Amino acid sequence: MKILVTGSAGFIGSKLSEQLCLRGDDVVGIDILNDYYAVSLKEARLKRIEETLSRAESDKTGKFRFIKMDLADREAMETLFAEEQFDKVMNLAAQAGVRYSIENPLSYVESNIVGFAHILEGCRHNKVKHLVYASSSSVYGLNESMPFSVHDNVDHPISLYAASKKSGELMAHTYSHLYQLPTTGLRFFTVYGPWDRPDMALQKFAKAIFEGKPIDVYNYGKHRRDFTYIDDIVEGIIRVLDNVAQPNRDWSGETPDPGSSLAPWRIYNIGNQQPVELLTYIETLEKHLGKKAEKNLLPLQPGDVPDTFADVADLVKDVGYKPSTTVEEGIKNFSQWYKSYYKIN
């Protein structure tokens, strides 16, 4: 297949692009390469894709082609879709970060709402067979029922980042309903691993630890997160891409199910199903870095949810998704990568 991966220089997008090509798909990757964090890391991820594919022994390996492009550029997006005629699309491009959205809310509108509208229009007018897109566990907002289920109502987000992701789910449903465009949203639960973003917990903590600076630990380290390793996330994405969204014929407007529809539209949680307390996460990082952290214990940050815990039963049932990487193994892999990439002995 020919697959468009947006955000292909990102943490998840680069790994996904690599794995799709290794199994034989041709991938066109786009990314704006903005300076939200170091562009050098994004460029290194793109270089890693090329190096991995050049070492691949199979003659069935697909090709990867990168184009620098902004989702918010309507004309460029229209041209891209018309010229390339993609079979499927994975939209990972987004302005990320809950805390950043508190200070810079409007940047999320341009990328996560306007940019996503251009993706939907491109898919609609060019007969894309399946659009899969990144949502977030943040949409659960003030929900307290655990584990979080796609069959629960999620109308109370507490950050504009979460609201923009919820907006994407609603926009996708409209296109699935009006134009019969199959769409699937994936609510990611705290993805971590090698090559992650510098603003994510592991890199922030590791950097501070090696610099001898204290780390800010919100909610006094007591909140739990459903930390999900990058390889498990990518495997789940590929399974979902291959499993085109279908209408739920049992759906009823009298008792509407928030996770499915009479349209070809689905929502899935994608997580590890094993929440870990933040302090335990930090202790595991200390162990594998071989250094102790100085902790600055703080109350819960505005916009953060206290706990996340994914109910992935639908994803297991529909695509056979089974995350297998423990936090111990995942943080060990991250620590080895971090010391190698930043040249720390």
Count of CB atoms within 10 A of residue 98's CB? 18
Question: Helices 278-289 & 327-341, crossing angle to 10 degrees?
Answer: 50
Catalytic, 161? Answer: yes
Peptide bond between residue 275 and the one before it cis (omega within 30 degrees of 0): no
DSSP secondary structure string for all residues of 243-267? S-----TT--SSS--TT--SSSEEE
Q: Which of 161, 268, 321, 338 is catalytic?
A: 161
Residue 72 and residue 95 in contact, taking contact as beta carbons nearer than 8 Å = no
Helices marked H in 141-295: 160-179, 201-211, 230-242, 278-289
Residue 168 and residue 112 in contact, taking contact as beta carbons nearer than 8 Å = yes
With b for 16 or more beta-carbon neighbours within 10 A and e for fewer, the 306-344 pattern comes to: ebbbbbbbbbeebbebebebebeebbebbbeebbeeeee
Q: For residue 2, list its beta bridge partners.
A: 26
What span, in angstroms and rounded, lies between the C-alpha atoms of 34 and 37?
Answer: 8
Tokens for 280? 């335990």
Q: For residue 68, list its beta bridge partners.
A: 31
Residue 343 neighbours by CB under 8 Å, 6+ apart: none
**Active site amino acids:** 161
